[in-house]
Each structure stands twice: as structure tokens, then as C-alpha cells.
Structure 1
């Protein structure tokens, strides 16, 4: 049942991201990805604020299923950057600043490299298709 709640939350977050990104582009233009930046900032705030208020022993403690619905489902659908941000802050708060820095650097470098590789691989496949035509 928890997987269903995560899926429903993910659908809500994904639709919210799509709507919000389009609204930002319509308002501010598409020359800079303001929508994505704002979504990442907002999602990072929401996941940490919610987690800080609803965890065990916190003011509004909720069952883990409700927390997972919002953090993994809604926030995960809205932006996975929020999970990355929360995990980094949790590492740093736990005294693992070296691991937090390594996580940030590895995420940035490896993900950008993977993205560049994906673009290169798709381009190579597309060029093969053009040469055969």
C-alpha cells in the first residue's frame, strides 16, 4: 500500500512541477531555467521543513507512511534535488562534513558527466541513422 501512496504523491509532485515550470516560463521567459531553479529551491525547503516538523519527537510527529508519501512521493515527484539537499544537510549536521562535500562534488561531477555522455551517445546513434538514410 505504501508504494501506491508514493505513486500518488509522485503524480501530484510531477504535475505540480510541470505546471509550475510552465507558469514560470510563461511569466519570466524561457531564456534561463527559472522554473527549474525555483522548483529545486522550493522543493528543498519543503522537504526539510516538513521533515523537521513531522519526525519522531518533533512538534507534529506523523507516521512514517505519511512522511514517505510527502517526502518521497510529492517532493520526489516535484524535484529529486530536494532529496539530495536534505541528505547533504543531514550528513553535515551529523558531523560528516567530508562525506557531505564528497556527495555534493560526486553528484555534480558524475551527473554532469553522465548527462554529457547521454547527449554524446544519442548524437552518435542519430548520426548513424542519418548516414544510413
Structure 2
């Protein structure tokens, strides 16, 4: 299980690096949109997985999948610490309002994405007879 978690976390970190690099090359703004996009999409994915897998009766295999994908991959993909540092950096470089807007948009976007993912996961689980 530990090796699977490490593999999931490593793959999530690689995915985060790739997404952030792609967004950074195309980002015309001074705001770090890559980290925001990563945290929002990671929250959506974790909500979706939770909605799909928590209601399933897959037993211990479901618990393993939840751990590897949720804790491992999503944990390696999302990055609260980077978002926090970027918020403070924006606060200092661009002003308090910019830092607060970035933090608020990241938080609200991530919460909304998690809720949407959870709802979709429950809906998909119910539609496919998993629940």
C-alpha cells in the first residue's frame, strides 16, 4: 500500500509540474493561474472520486483505490503550500487586494469544484447502480 501511495503521489506531482508549466507559458497575467487551476481541478477530481467510491461496496479494493487516487494522486497534484506562498507573494508585490482576491478565488473555486465533483460522483454512482 505504501508503494502504491508513493506512486500515486509521484504521478500527481508530475502532473502538477506539467500543468503548471503549460499554464505558465500561456499566462499573460501576473497572477499564478497554474496553481489555482491545479487546486480547483484537483478538488473536482477528489470530489468526484469521493462521490463515486465512498458509496460503493467495493470493500478493501475500494479503500485502496480511494487511498491511492485520493490521498496519493490528488495529494501530490494539489498544493496548498504553494497557493499560500503565492498569496503572500501577491500581497507583497501587487497589494493586499490582489492577494486577497487570489486567495478567495482559489478557496471558493476549490470548494465549488469539490461540491460539483461530489455531486457528479454520487449521480454517476447511482446511475451505474454502485450506490
Shared topology, TM-score over 0.5?
Answer: yes
Match of 2:56? Answer: 58
Structure 1, unaligned stretches of length 5 or more? Answer: 91-133
Give deviations 1:29-70, integer Å, cap 9, x for gaps.
Answer: 462110000000000110011110111x33888520111000
Structure 1 runs of 4+ aligned residues shifted over 4 Å read 59-62
What TM-score comes out, normalization by structure 2 length? 0.56
Q: 1:53·1:59 contact (CA, 8 Å) conserved in 2?
A: no
TM-score (norm 1): 0.55
What's the counterpart of residue 40 of structure 1? 39
Q: How does 1:7-18 map to 2 (within 5 A)?
A: 7-18=6-17
Alignment gaps of 5+ in structure 2: 81-106, 116-131
1:71 and 2:78 correspond: no
The answer on whether the counterparts of 2:35 and 2:79 sit within 8 Å (CA) in structure 1 is no
